[in-house]
Amino acid sequence: MDAKDWLSVYAALLSTFLGGYSIYKEYKKRKGKMLFHYEKEDVEESENKFAPHHVVSIVNISETTRVLRQIILEQRLNDGTTTYTDAKAEYPIKLSQYDQYKYNFSTETIRDGVTVISLSKDKSLPKNERMKIERRTIEKCRVTVTDTTGKKYQSQWLELKAKVIGE
């Protein structure tokens, strides 16, 4: 092998490495990341009336701008089932790098729990006796964010401990 052959092998290896590196950089640039932060704060609901709320801050920490299509509050009930509540937000929500969107939900919603209506399949019973209404408490919740590309970002579960008065 003479110098021309070595030079062509070197050029082929270098171009392969640089091509692979540029593909890796583009993949890393397009990969989205969201940061979730929970906190409790008092939100003014009406003039001089404040109510406790859970506030979830959603921060875009990816290099590219993300457009949020949907924000859902997922609630795990004490019987193991899950309910979903859509955040009543003005979609789409555009988040550039390090932009933040705050979503708050009332602690009264969590404290009061969820009313579940179930219907027995036993057809021999009258309809009003087949219906069963139960109140279930919410044990934990998390936020799921979907962007316009269809990618879902989920926060960690937030444990919600119920306070029993008098213990």
Q: Is residue 20 part of a domain?
A: no
Q: Is residue 5 part of a domain?
A: no
Domain membership of residue 59 as a residue range: 32-159
Report the chain's mean pLDDT, rounded to a whole number.
80
Find the range with the poorest average confidence among 11-20, 53-62, 100-109.
100-109
Q: Is residue 13 part of a domain?
A: no
The structural domain count of the chain equals 1
The H or E element that residue 154 is part of is strand 152-154
CATH classification of the domain holding 82: 2.60.40
Measure the CA angle with vertex 24, ends 31 and 17; round to 5°. 180
Q: Is residue 22 part of a domain?
A: no
Confidence band (pLDDT; 50, 70, 90) for 118?
Answer: low
Residue written as token pair 């640089």: 18
Question: What DSSP letter does each residue of 56-67 carry, written as one string?
Answer: EEEEE-SSS-EE
pLDDT of residue 163 exceeding 60: no
Sign of CA dihedral 42, 45, 47, 51: negative
